[in-house]
A and B are shown apart, each in its own frame.
Chain A
Amino acid sequence: MLQVLFDALSLGSLYALGALGIALIFGVMRLVNFAHGDVIAFAVFALLWPSVDAVAIVFAGKMPWFLLIPFILAVGAGLSVLSEVVVFRRFRHASPATMMIASFALGFVIRYFLLMLFSSRPKSISLLPALSQPVEVLGARMPLLQLITIVATLVMLTGLSVFVRRTRFGLEMRAAAENFTMARMLGVRANRVIMGAFALSGALAGAIAIILGSQTGTVDIQMGGAVMLMAFIATVIGGLGSLEGAVLAGFLIGAASVVMQTVLPPEARPFRDAFVYGAVILVLLFRPQGLIAARGTKERV
């Protein structure tokens, strides 16, 4: 029982962090960023030296953890900001569909850039190996990593929430998310806010990269994809643009997946995802604007 709870929380953590990364950018730019998953993959590959072998040649990954973690976060943030400056800035006035396809094309470019350097073969990597040791918490055995994932996510979410609520930058970002034009008419600098949102979102992608990399022990150019699809759905279910909603929905979807895995009869288990997606459609039918409707999602930049 407790095991199920921890599983749900740790899976939910991934989805919540991913959803938050998408919601941050959507809030200020109305962009659904499909390249986010590829930023995750890129952040992990930044630790490796380019090679097409199955065993990773660890390069930057040899750093001690207190350098390694900031490094990955910075790579994620850097790539994300770069994508804003080079690509998305040209799409500020484009329709959501055009922006989505542009972000998809960018993700494609990042993915095949990694493929060129590293090939499409998954590589094994031991990232923060100390974390895979099991620990016992309240009678449930679980890898230390799972516990750290949950705790780290909660810490990050709290930190981000304080940042968004208590700092001037957070204030400007919330104002811009609600009505970008009005915020600009009050002197809020559009580029600064948007780049800030991209940086935060990229750092979150880096955090997911660390968790995924150490959880699975492999790196793969596709690794961001699966998490991102669920995170993307969570963003919409949570109410596009609502940060709280994204986090809540991320955890809910994580919980739904884990719970269905345990309660479904064995012969139906392979179809678990179909049930999860069915539930997604149901939620959307009852709350098309999401669980927590964000204000002003109709206005555009």
Chain B
Amino acid sequence: MAQDAQKPQKSVLLRTIATPLILTALMVALALLTLAVGSRPFNQTMIDIFVRVILVVGLYIFVGNSGVLSFGHIGFTCLGAYAAAWLTMPPMMKELSFPGLPDWLKAVQLPYGPGAVLAALFAGVFALLFGRVLMRLSGIAASIATFAMLAMINTIYANWESVTAATNSVVGIPIVRTIWPYMIGAIVAIFVAWLHAVSRFGLALRAARDEPTAALASGIDIPRVRLVAFGLSGVVMGLGGALMAHSIGVVTPDTFYLGLTFITLSMLVVGGMSTLSGAVSGVVILSLLIQGLRWLERGVPVGNTTFALPGGLQEILLGVVMIAILARRPNGLFSKEFAWPFGARDRRGPALAATQTVPEGDA
């Protein structure tokens, strides 16, 4: 303890690195499991999980640290996905789908890797632009404003025929079926989120979330630290969007609208909104649950008959389970970060730990 106090800079990194390392190990384990199973549907399921990990971690960077619920982040996923389509599709197909794109962009055809990075940055730039305006708001007004932003993006992408093909499905995006890029993307997202959380921006942002008055008094520029998180989460959401486009090969504006917004938010909140561990495990747990229910819906042989859930029951059960989890654990399943199980310096993982119930309220 005394040693920690002497070099606080280093100790925050060291004390908390367990969290991203454990989560990375989890990601690698999932990828290896996929390899071992070797079936194509299973491979696709795992790719979906990794993509959602990226999206939910991206959400966590802003929502978890700032405490402001955002309904708009899937808008950045939309930006990222379409940008990836613009950058990686063969020029001929672009001519068909997006006749209105500028010629230089039509001529470009990048491999999916650099394409995804550029798409992520593209989404990040827009996140910064929108954030400049939106970060002045807080609380529920900010949530609604982010939703309005999502709806704006959706309306524009669903109607700008020559550049986005409007509501038509965009086909011809190179499909990437190997699991590694998705796993790497998820790990990158986890480390970005962790580095942000322990950086002074992340610390200041959580301070502002838990003690807004004190944070203001100590000179924290709340809109600015929020903007940093918003921009960064925009980049991660954009990356998720690009990879999602490559995983399914088809995009439409409505792929990136309310359905995806709510499922990702649910994963975040069920897992534990204020922790990175919660964000990642929320995805894994809810995804496995959804898969399990789908499997039951398709039918399981029991003896010599098949037992199958009627259609629609899967979603109903999912909703019921979510309500049950939240009723029992309103702070989500993991309101504390994962840490080394043995000999940890501090099991609470202080720098990332969620603040428990604040007495008297901070209003």
B-chain residues with CB within 8 Å of residue A277 when the two chains form the complex: 148-149, 151-152, 155
Check: B144 CB closer than 8 A to any chain A CB. Answer: yes
Partner of B144, one of A90, A95, A116, A284: A284
Partner of A109, one of B151, B273, B319: B319
Stretch at the interface among A8-16, A100-108, A209-217: A100-108
Check: B93 CB closer than 8 A to any chain A CB. Answer: no
Task: Verify B315–A284 contact, CB threshold 8 A.
Answer: no
Shortest distance in angstroms between A181's beta carbon and chain B's nearest beta carbon? Answer: 11
Stretch at the interface among B23-31, B174-182, B306-314: B306-314
Task: Verify A112–B363 contact, CB threshold 8 A.
Answer: no
Partner of B137, one of A32, A106, A225, A285: A285
Interface residues of A in 1-32 (CB under 8 A from B): 32
Interface residues of A in 74-112 (CB under 8 A from B): 87, 90-91, 93-98, 100-102, 104-106, 108-109, 111-112
Interface residues of B in 229-252 (CB under 8 A from A): none
Task: Verify B149–A113 contact, CB threshold 8 A.
Answer: no
Specify the main secondary structure of chain B where it touches its partner: helix
Check: A151 CB closer than 8 A to any chain B CB. Answer: no
B-chain residues with CB within 8 Å of residue A95 when the two chains form the complex: 330-331
B-chain residues with CB within 8 Å of residue A270 when the two chains form the complex: 155, 159
Task: Verify A285–B136 contact, CB threshold 8 A.
Answer: yes
Shortest distance in angstroms between A22's beta carbon and chain B's nearest beta carbon? Answer: 12
Task: Verify B155–A105 contact, CB threshold 8 A.
Answer: no
- With A98-B269, A101-B269, A277-B155 as known contacts, state yes or no: A108 contacts B327, CB within 8 Å: no
Check: A281 CB closer than 8 A to any chain B CB. Answer: yes
Check: A53 CB closer than 8 A to any chain B CB. Answer: no
Shortest distance in angstroms between B2's beta carbon and chain A's nearest beta carbon? Answer: 37
B-chain residues with CB within 8 Å of residue A116 when the two chains form the complex: 310-313, 316
Task: Verify A271–B156 contact, CB threshold 8 A.
Answer: yes
Q: CA A272 – CA B156 in complex, angstroms?
A: 9
Most buried by A among B133, B270, B319: B319
Interface residues of A in 210-242 (CB under 8 A from B): 225, 229, 232-233, 236-237, 240
Check: B105 CB closer than 8 A to any chain A CB. Answer: no
Most buried by B among A105, A112, A240, A277: A105
Task: Verify B144–A91 contact, CB threshold 8 A.
Answer: no
A-chain residues with CB within 8 Å of residue B270 when the two chains form the complex: 101
Check: A300 CB closer than 8 A to any chain B CB. Answer: yes
Q: CA A101 – CA B361 in complex, angstroms?
A: 22
Task: Verify A281–B133 contact, CB threshold 8 A.
Answer: yes
Instruction: Write the chain A residue with the least CB distance to B330.
Output: A94
Instruction: Write the chain B residue with the least CB distance to A235.
Output: B144
Task: Verify A273–B265 contact, CB threshold 8 A.
Answer: no
Most buried by A among B133, B148, B152: B148
Check: B283 CB closer than 8 A to any chain A CB. Answer: no
Task: Verify A97–B155 contact, CB threshold 8 A.
Answer: no
Shortest distance in angstroms between A58's beta carbon and chain B's nearest beta carbon? Answer: 22
Check: B207 CB closer than 8 A to any chain A CB. Answer: no
Task: Verify B322–A101 contact, CB threshold 8 A.
Answer: yes
- With A113-B316, A116-B311, A281-B133 as known contacts, state yes or no: A298 contacts B151, CB within 8 Å: no
B-chain residues with CB within 8 Å of residue A106 when the two chains form the complex: 319, 323
Q: CA A90 – CA B329 in complex, angstroms?
A: 11
Check: B216 CB closer than 8 A to any chain A CB. Answer: no
- With A32-B140, A112-B316, A116-B313 as known contacts, state yes or no: A102 contacts B363, CB within 8 Å: no
Interface residues of B in 255-278 (CB under 8 A from A): 258, 262, 265-266, 269-270, 273
Check: A280 CB closer than 8 A to any chain B CB. Answer: yes
- With A229-B151, A281-B148 as known contacts, state yes or no: A102 contacts B322, CB within 8 Å: yes
Task: Verify A87–B323 contact, CB threshold 8 A.
Answer: yes
The 10 sampled A-B contact pairs (Cβ below 8 Å) are A91-B326, A101-B326, A105-B319, A113-B316, A233-B148, A272-B155, A278-B148, A280-B148, A284-B145, A285-B133
Binding site for A on B (CB under 8 A): 69, 133-134, 136-141, 144-145, 147-149, 151-152, 155-156, 159, 258, 262, 265-266, 269-270, 273, 310-316, 318-320, 322-323, 326-327, 330-332, 361, 363
